[in-house]
Each structure stands twice: as C-alpha cells, then as structure tokens.
C-alpha cells in the first residue's frame, strides 16, 4: 500500500537558528502515531541539514535536500553531491522542481544524471513535474507531464522506480495563491498513475505516492487530499509555519 506523505519544501528561507527552531517545534508537535499514518518530510536549505538532523527524531520527520549535483565528486564548484547528503544522513532528495527547471536550467538530461546519483546512494527521489499556465490553457498539461516523466523516471528499471515519489505541481499554482481544484488535481493524478501502470505495472502504480503541490494550505488540504489519487502534498509557503504545516498533516 502506498504511503501518504506531506513534505515541506522550505526553499531559500530561514536563517540557521530559525530553521532549527522550526524543525524543533515541528518535532515537538508530532507524535509517533501520526507518523505511522502520514510520512512527514522537511527539506531545509543545504546549510541547515546537518544541524537539523541532530534536533529531530528520524522516526517522526524525514530530512530531504532540495537538489543535488549531477556527479559524485570532483571539480564542480558550488555543487553538493548525493553522496555528501547520504553521508550526513539525508535519504531523500527533491529533484525537478519547477524553480530549478526554470531558473537553474535543470533539463531532463541533467535530471537523469541527478536521479542516478540519488539512486546509487540508495536514497529516495521526490520527482516534480507540472505544466506552466500557457500549457494548461492550451490543454497540453497531460502531454507535458507525460514528457517530463518519460524523459527521466520512466527510463528507470522497476526496482529503481520503487524509490521514486512523484509530485505534480502545476507551475501556475506555485506561490501564487491559485490552487488546482480538487477535480483538476484528481484528474491529472489519475492520469499520472495510469502512465505508471502502462510503463511498469498496476501493482507499481498502486504503490506509487503522487503528491500535489502548489498553494496547498490548511484551508484547502483536506479537499485536495480526499481525492483517491492524491497521496499528500509538497508544501512551500505553508511549511514555514509549524502550526500550518501540522494542520496540513492532520488534514488526512
Ligand atoms: P507553495 O510551493 O506551496 O508555496 O505554492 C509549493 C512548491 O513549490 O513546492
């Protein structure tokens, strides 16, 4: 049975002391029974990961990075490898976020290299896909997500794909206050699950968690998560307030 997951993408927010405090507060607010039902993930900036690892209970909160390098080590100034993340106890990496794709030129080629690095270290990937407003208006959203999946994660073997969590994030809903309607989310999540079944098997499709992201908040999470194919959320802005994030977790 697939996992329900609520993941907080902190993006480039919080100074170290604020990040530690946020993680500690969240850790206090969660109890183990909640974690049995919903897997809680937080993705702070790179500079915070090692310190935050020491203040959270890994049975309650899984730590994730927001990106990683295309290579394992060497002359790649400014980059952080999946191996380095593994070494400090980070077992999950978000890849393919639309901000990385649009501002930092992540392409299917670079993302394939990054996914390979993460899998080589036996870590999990939260792989983000989603269309921009123009594509949605032109009704190309199905085509866009199919291409994004086919060019990267659908190239993996069955065993490799089992380490992939998908996150559908319509770019027009990220940080804009506009959310996909529950019907829009369910429609495309069901389509994505169908693609997984086509590429692998019904069993793998049933076991794949597909998260929704884009202006998800305590007010709309319940309605979004009540859809059969929406297995949780990738939360940006609302993950920076412990109470809001906890309320989203409790929406299941
Ligand atoms: P948002 O961001 O919740 O602030 O819209 C979501 C994301 O980018 O993961």
Per residue in 128-172, pLDDT (tens digit) is 999 999 999 999 999 999 999 999 999 999 999 999 999 999 999
Q: Per the domain annotation, does 175 fall within a domain?
A: no
216 lines ligand 1 (CB under 6 A): yes
Q: What is the mean pLDDT of the chain?
A: 96
- In this predicted model, what pLDDT tens digit does every residue of 73-132 receive, in sequence order? 999 999 999 999 999 999 999 999 999 999 999 999 999 999 999 999 999 999 999 999
Interval between CA 43 and ligand 1 midpoint (Å)? 12
Q: What is the rounded (10 degree) CA torsion for 148, 152, 155, 159?
A: -110
Work out whether the CA dihedral 94, 244, 214, 47 comes out positive or negative: negative
Q: Per the domain annotation, does 228 fall within a domain?
A: no
Q: Per the domain annotation, does 182 fall within a domain?
A: no
Whether residue 7 is predicted with pLDDT greater than 80 in this model: the reply is yes
Q: What is the CATH number of the domain that holds 149?
A: 3.20.20.70
What is the pLDDT at residue 36?
A: 73
Q: If you ran DSSP here, which 8-state letter would residue 63 be given?
A: E
233 lines ligand 1 (CB under 6 A): no
Domain that holds residue 34: 10-170+187-211
Residue of 60, 47, 54 whose CA lies nearest to 89: 54
Q: Per the domain annotation, does 1 fall within a domain?
A: no
236 lines ligand 1 (CB under 6 A): yes
What is the pLDDT at residue 32?
A: 72
Q: Per the domain annotation, does 153 fall within a domain?
A: yes
Would you name the residues annotated as active-site residues? Answer: 97, 169
Q: Per the domain annotation, does 58 fall within a domain?
A: yes
**Ligand 1 pocket test, candidate residues 214, 215, 224, most atoms within 8 A of CB:** 214
Whether residue 35 is predicted with pLDDT greater than 80 in this model: the reply is no
Q: Per the domain annotation, does 145 fall within a domain?
A: yes
Q: Per the domain annotation, does 220 fall within a domain?
A: no
Interval between CA 185 and ligand 1 midpoint (Å)? 15
Count the helix, strand and coil residues of the chain and give each as a percent rounded to the nearest 5: 45, 15, 35
Provide the domain count of the chain: 1
What is the pLDDT at residue 6?
A: 98
174 lines ligand 1 (CB under 6 A): yes
Structure tokens at 132: 């921009």
């Amino acid at each position: 049975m697939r996992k329900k997951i609520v993941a907080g993408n902190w993006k480039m927010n919080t100074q170290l002391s604020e990040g530690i405090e946020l993680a500690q507060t969240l850790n206090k607010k969660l109890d183990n029974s909640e974690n049995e039902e919903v897997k809680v993930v937080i993705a702070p900036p790179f500079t915070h990961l090692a310190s935050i690892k020491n203040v959270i209970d890994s049975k309650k909160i899984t730590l994730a990075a927001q990106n990683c390098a295309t290579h394992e080590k060497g002359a790649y100034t400014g980059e952080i490898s999946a191996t380095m993340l593994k070494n400090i106890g980070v077992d999950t990496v978000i890849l393919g976020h639309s901000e990385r794709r649009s501002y930092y030129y992540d392409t299917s080629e670079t993302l394939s290299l990054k996914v390979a690095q993460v899998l080589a270290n036996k870590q999990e990937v939260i792989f983000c896909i989603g269309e921009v407003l123009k594509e949605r208006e032109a009704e190309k959203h199905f085509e866009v997500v199919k291409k994004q999946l086919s060019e990267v994660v659908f190239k993996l073997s069955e065993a490799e794909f089992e380490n992939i969590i998908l996150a559908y994030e319509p770019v027009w809903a990220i940080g804009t206050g506009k959310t996909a309607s529950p019907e829009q989310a369910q429609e495309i999540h069901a389509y994505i699950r169908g693609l997984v079944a086509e590429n692998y098997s019904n069993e793998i499709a049933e076991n794949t968690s597909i998260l929704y992201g884009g202006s998800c908040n305590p007010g709309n999470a319940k309605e979004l998560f009540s859809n059969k194919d929406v297995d949780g959320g990738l939360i940006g802005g609302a993950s920076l307030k412990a109470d809001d994030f906890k309320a989203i977790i409790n929406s299941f």
